[in-house]
């Protein structure tokens, strides 16, 4: 049988092996994605994986400045904000057309937001639009003239501009929505550097150069996005030359690519935080000293170096350093000090009662949650805290954690990736964000000062003032320790050596406008 | 025969119907809901409720089931909320990809399995038998996903003979040689385990037949050994091997889940796994329905073939 197999293999290879699978033309970039996109309609998408395509097909009114999380003009050339922070007026870029040839103007902007936000809009049924709440403070979008559009907000809302830079704020051609209805996600038409060509289900999404792009035509002729869900297979494709770019490289394989001159490895810290929610309402963690002791007891350096193999940095507080303008650089991570932790536990009168720890087996941004959970359990047990792990599949896990930990568990793993320093603390650290009020404060942390700072920061339109408020908030939260701050994930990617001008962004979006592959 | 087939097909209807209820109940019972899967960290109770309303998932389970059933009788399988496209398009596309993979795999494992089994039985305890038994044992005990990765590593990464994954070349291709190049490694992987099972069964079955009196009579009459083995013994042995091939067909479809994931083959197995983890109930229903129908048809074909082979069953 063995000889037969060998013979069959040899025959098959002679007959069928075509060189087409390893050769791609110059300036055509093949990108290995982690999954099939759900849709290419920016209003309908929620996954970073889909955003990687969207940001090259579409533009928003504003975008993140290269290498930062600060907004700069895109399809809006300038804007003014009223003194009360409730009226935003945008001047639009002249002479821009959607890929389908229809003009970009104030009507198009209004159409996009009305479609998402107004339930009586004739095209609201082309949704659902899961992230529409990003713009829930928008009460009215007004067309002032053909090239001026005004957003009226129901309350001052500082993250509004960064939400506009988020993919949910990317603008689609109204004519395309009218023509394709619910299927517009498979017939996208934007204003971006690349035009949509083809979507072969479960195989590839192809986009091509938009020679008339208002910000300069991209060097690449085309980009092909391939969904390859299995990480090992993605690595094999990269090694075999079937991909030019691969995202989310497993930590195990990074070294292999680093040592090989035919590849380039990229890393970029992003607005991500991996943390443990501590139940501040009942159980041992209701005591601040015990929460701080947990922060001292866990060896975060070992976690990021050994479990995450260097794909993350140790986190110091609730705000990731990627939000450079809002991050308090003076904040130091809790050092690893098991002796101090033991002393603090004793001081606080910890009675040795067992703590229940919710762990998950996967999920977006959760990195390697099972191994992390076990390592954390070991660190806590080393200082005399008995930890019982309960592991749940991601969806089940969210269903258990989001309604709050009271009466069920003492701590839970969690990770968030956000686009504004406001988002995570506002949704997960305020008294008004307790689970029964629709927030994510599953550990019931409550500090009136933090509430006040976050409310104020949200209402201010002055970045310097917001930064000051966020920094003060970080100091307090760091000391109150409602969470164990563990890690900030670094996004990674590998390209073949031929790929030039490739860059990862702190936003985790994969901008390909300047990339070339001569 | 026609009446028999019609009766069997009719009997399949309650089976498939019952299955759809079971799947629906299981999907309703597992924790987590689609809105949670879609919204992830943003799943506030308020957002979840709104999205569930938009998706039509706020109605009671029983009502949802009957809505689904009613639509299905009109040929409307619904729309997948994770893929944002009609379920029927996705399911048919995926299922044909699985058939393209499983068909040749089944053919390969039947041919190699039968051949190996016959040789093994005829040369019982000879070196050929020992070598084949050894290889077959390794084949049966090898986890298919591991074998798949190994084949990728050797034949796609080291010797660039075959593409590592996918069904079609990204550039150029799209013709039969392109498909075959992509098919070779996954089909081989898929065939290995089933080959082992069929080989072992054919061997046992052949050995049993070869000891029968009529074989001795045939040999005594001076009929050539080749004719004895293939005409007299093999045909009789086939009767007990065919149902096993039928079972292996089911196995090949099921095993395709791993293989499809490893080789990024756009088949129905990998689709179902993803649909379940994202709680995409309509997609799960559509997929299970198609797979179940295929199983029923396979079993029917096996039974018919067996009836043809064995006159005693008629």
Q: Which residues pair with A32 in a beta bridge?
A: A226, A246
- Which chain B residues touch A240 with a CB distance below 8 Å? 156-157, 160, 163-164
In A36-86, beta strands by DSSP E: 62-64, 71-73, 76-81
Separation between Cα atoms, residue B163 and residue A226, nearest integer Å: 14
Kindly state the percentage of chain A with pLDDT values over 70.
96
Least confident piece of the model among A307-316, A392-401, A424-433, B46-55: B46-55
**Which among A510, A516, A29 has a CA at the least distance from the CA of A270?**
A510
Mean pLDDT along residues A80-94: 95
Q: Is A287 helix (H, G, I), strand (E, B) or coil?
A: coil
**Which among A304, A370, A386, A385 has a CA at the least distance from the CA of A338?**
A385
The reported pLDDT for the residue numbered B314 is 63
Q: A461 pLDDT exceeds 90?
A: no
Q: Which of B87, B106, B131 is the last residue of a domain?
A: B87
Mark whether B101 and B249 lie in a shared domain.
Answer: yes
Q: What is the mean pLDDT of chain B?
A: 85
Mark whether B220 and B97 lie in a shared domain.
Answer: yes
- Which chain A residues touch B30 with a CB distance below 8 Å? 396
**Cα–Cα distance list, B170 to A237, A473, A491, B174, B230 (Å):** 12, 50, 26, 9, 45
DSSP A135: G
Mark whether B78 and B115 lie in a shared domain.
Answer: no
pLDDT band with cut points at 50, 70 and 90 for residue B41? low
pLDDT band with cut points at 50, 70 and 90 for residue A438? confident
B165 Cβ contact partners less than 8 Å away, ≥ 6 residues apart: A228, A233, A236, A237, A242, B152, B262, B263, B264, B265
Mark whether B42 and B130 lie in a shared domain.
Answer: no
Judge contact between B238 and B302, C-beta under 8 A.
Answer: no
Q: Which of B87, B116, B134 is the last residue of a domain?
A: B87
B55 Cβ contact partners less than 8 Å away, ≥ 6 residues apart: A128, B34, B35, B81
Mark whether B32 and B113 lie in a shared domain.
Answer: no
Q: B287 pLDDT exceeds 50?
A: yes
B108 Cβ contact partners less than 8 Å away, ≥ 6 residues apart: B187, B188, B191, B195
Whether residues B162 and A130 touch (CB distance < 8 A) is answered with no
Q: A47 pLDDT exceeds 90?
A: no
pLDDT band with cut points at 50, 70 and 90 for residue B221? confident
Q: What is the pTM of this model?
A: 0.85
Q: Which of B62, B87, B112 is the last residue of a domain?
A: B87
Judge contact between A106 and A147, C-beta under 8 A.
Answer: yes
Q: Choose between B166 and A191: higher pLDDT.
A: A191
A505: Cα separation from own chain's centroid: 11
pLDDT band with cut points at 50, 70 and 90 for residue A2? very low
Query: A277-301 pLDDT, tens per residue?
Result: 999 999 999 999 999 999 999 999 9
Domain limits at B177?
91-313
Query: Domain count of chain B?
Result: 2
Query: A128-170 pLDDT, tens per residue?
Result: 888 888 899 999 999 999 999 999 999 999 999 999 999 999 9
Judge contact between A91 and A147, C-beta under 8 A.
Answer: yes
Which of B57, B118, B165 is the best mutation test for A, with the most CBs of A within 10 A?
B165
Query: B95-125 pLDDT, tens per residue?
Result: 999 999 988 998 999 899 988 988 888 888 8
> Any idea what the CATH number is for the domain that residue B102 is in?
1.10.3720.10
Mark whether B77 and B101 lie in a shared domain.
Answer: no
pLDDT band with cut points at 50, 70 and 90 for residue B15? confident
The shortest C-alpha distance from B74 to chain A (Å) reads 20
Token representation of residue A464: 């310097």
Mark whether B64 and B95 lie in a shared domain.
Answer: no
The reported pLDDT for the residue numbered B76 is 85
Most confident of A127-131, A226-230, A248-252, A497-501: A497-501
Token representation of residue B305: 């073939």
pLDDT band with cut points at 50, 70 and 90 for residue A3? very low
The reported pLDDT for the residue numbered A18 is 44
Q: At what angle do helices A463-480 and A448-459 cross, to 10 degrees?
A: 160
Mark whether B207 and B220 lie in a shared domain.
Answer: yes
**Cα–Cα distance list, A190 to A169, A198, A222, B305 (Å):** 12, 14, 16, 57
Judge contact between A50 and A38, C-beta under 8 A.
Answer: yes
Q: How many residues does chain A have?
A: 518
Q: A210 pLDDT exceeds 60?
A: yes
Most confident of A53-62, A228-237, A461-470: A53-62
Q: For residue A128, is the peptide bond before it cis, meaning its omega torsion is within 30 degrees of 0?
A: yes
- Which chain B residues touch A237 with a CB distance below 8 Å? 164-165
Do β-strands A387-392 and A355-360 pair in parallel, antiparallel, or remain unpaired?
parallel
Q: Choose between B96 and B234: higher pLDDT.
A: B96
A378 Cβ contact partners less than 8 Å away, ≥ 6 residues apart: none
Whether residues B41 and A416 touch (CB distance < 8 A) is answered with yes
The reported pLDDT for the residue numbered A276 is 97
Q: A12 pLDDT exceeds 70?
A: no
Mark whether B282 and B299 lie in a shared domain.
Answer: yes
The reported pLDDT for the residue numbered B68 is 85
Mean pLDDT along residues A343-354: 93
The shortest C-alpha distance from B153 to chain A (Å) reads 7
Separation between Cα atoms, residue A3 and residue A13, nearest integer Å: 15
Mean pLDDT along residues B55-78: 83
Give me the interface pTM, i.e. the ipTM: 0.80
Mark whether B243 and B156 lie in a shared domain.
Answer: yes
Mark whether B168 and B74 lie in a shared domain.
Answer: no
Kind plus residue range of the DSSP H or E element containing B299: helix B281-309
Mark whether B16 and B140 lie in a shared domain.
Answer: no
């Amino acid at each position: 049988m063995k000889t037969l197999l060998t013979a069959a293999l040899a025959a098959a290879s002679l007959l069928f092996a075509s060189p087409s699978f390893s050769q791609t033309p110059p300036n055509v970039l093949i990108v290995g994605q982690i999954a099939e996109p759900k849709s290419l309609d920016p209003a309908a998408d929620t996954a970073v994986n889909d955003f990687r395509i969207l940001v090259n097909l579409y533009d928003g009114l504003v975008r993140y400045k290269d290498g930062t999380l600060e907004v700069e003009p895109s399809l809006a050339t300038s804007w003014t904000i009223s003194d009360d922070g409730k009226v935003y007026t945008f001047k639009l870029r002249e002479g821009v057309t959607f890929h389908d040839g229809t003009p970009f103007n104030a009507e198009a902007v209004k159409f996009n937001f009305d479609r998402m936000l107004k339930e009586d809009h004739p095209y609201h049924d082309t949704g659902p639009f899961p992230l529409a709440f990003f713009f829930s403070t928008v009460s009215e979008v007004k067309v002032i003239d053909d090239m001026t559009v005004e957003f009226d907000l129901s309350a001052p809302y500082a993250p509004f501009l960064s939400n506009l830079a988020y993919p949910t704020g990317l603008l689609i051609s109204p004519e395309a929505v009218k023509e394709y209805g619910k299927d517009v996600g498979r017939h996208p038409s934007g204003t971006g550097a690349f035009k949509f060509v083809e979507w072969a289900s479960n195989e590839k999404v192809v986009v091509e150069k938009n020679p008339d792009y208002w910000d300069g035509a991209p060097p690449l002729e085309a980009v092909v996005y391939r969904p390859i869900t299995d990480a090992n297979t993605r690595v094999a494709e990269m090694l075999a030359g079937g991909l030019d770019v691969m995202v989310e490289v497993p930590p195990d394989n990074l070294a292999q690519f680093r040592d090989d001159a035919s590849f380039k490895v990229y890393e970029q810290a992003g607005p991500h935080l991996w943390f443990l929610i501590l139940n501040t309402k009942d159980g041992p963690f209701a005591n601040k000293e015990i929460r701080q002791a947990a922060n001292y007891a866990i060896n975060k350096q070992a976690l990021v170096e050994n479990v995450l193999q260097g794909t993350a940095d140790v986190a110091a507080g609730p705000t990731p350093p990627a939000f450079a303008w809002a991050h308090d650089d003076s904040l130091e991570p809790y050092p690893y000090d098991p002796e101090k932790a033991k002393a603090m536990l004793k001081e606080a009168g910890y009675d040795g009662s067992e703590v229940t720890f919710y762990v998950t087996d996967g999920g977006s941004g959760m990195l390697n949650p099972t191994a992390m959970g076990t390592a954390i359990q070991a660190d806590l047990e080393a200082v005399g805290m008995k930890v019982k792990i309960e592991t749940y599949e991601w969806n089940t896990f969210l269903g258990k954690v989001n309604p709050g930990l009271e009466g069920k568990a003492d701590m839970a793993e969690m990770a968030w990736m956000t686009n504004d320093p406001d988002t995570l603390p506002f949704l997960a650290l305020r008294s008004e964000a307790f689970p029964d009020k629709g927030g994510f404060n599953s550990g019931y942390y409550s500090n009136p000062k933090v509430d006040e700072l976050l409310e104020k920061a949200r209402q201010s339109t002055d970045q310097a003032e917001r930064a000051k408020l966020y920094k003060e908030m970080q100091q307090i939260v760091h000391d109150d320790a409602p969470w164990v701050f563990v890690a900030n994930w670094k996004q990674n990617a590998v390209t073949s050596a031929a790929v030039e001008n490739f860059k990862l962004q702190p936003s985790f979006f994969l901008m390909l406008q300047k990339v070339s592959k001569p | 025969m026609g009446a028999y087939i019609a009766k069997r097909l009719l009997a399949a209807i309650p089976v498939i119907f019952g299955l759809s209820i079971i799947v629906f109940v299981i999907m309703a019972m597992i924790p987590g809901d689609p809105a949670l899967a879609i919204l992830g960290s943003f799943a506030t109770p308020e957002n979840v409720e709104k999205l569930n309303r938009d998706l039509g998932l706020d109605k009671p389970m029983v009502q949802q089931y009957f809505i689904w059933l009613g639509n299905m009788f009109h040929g409307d399988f619904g729309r997948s909320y994770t893929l944002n496209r009609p379920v029927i398009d996705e399911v048919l596309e995926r299922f044909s990809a699985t058939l393209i993979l499983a068909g040749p795999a089944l053919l390969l494992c039947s041919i190699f399995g039968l051949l190996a089994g016959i040789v093994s039985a005829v040369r019982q305890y000879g070196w050929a038998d020992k070598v084949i038994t050894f290889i077959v044992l390794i084949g049966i005990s090898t986890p298919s996903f591991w074998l798949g990765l190994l084949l990728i590593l050797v034949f796609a990464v080291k010797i660039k003979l075959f593409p590592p994954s996918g069904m079609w070349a990204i550039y150029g291709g799209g013709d039969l040689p392109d498909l075959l190049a992509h098919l070779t490694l996954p089909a081989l992987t898929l065939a290995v385990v089933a080959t082992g099972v069929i080989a072992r069964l054919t061997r046992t079955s052949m050995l049993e037949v070869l000891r029968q009196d009529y074989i001795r009579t045939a040999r005594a009459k001076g009929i050539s050994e080749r004719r004895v083995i293939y005409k007299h013994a093999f045909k009789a042995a086939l009767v007990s091997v065919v149902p096993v091939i039928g079972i292996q067909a089911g196995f090949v479809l099921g095993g395709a889940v791993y293989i499809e994931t490893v080789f990024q083959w756009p088949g129905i197995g990998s689709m179902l796994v993803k649909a379940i983890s994202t709680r995409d109930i309509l997609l799960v229903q559509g997929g299970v329905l198609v797979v179940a129908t295929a199983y029923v048809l396979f079993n029917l074909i096996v039974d018919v073939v067996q009836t043809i082979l064995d006159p005693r069953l008629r």
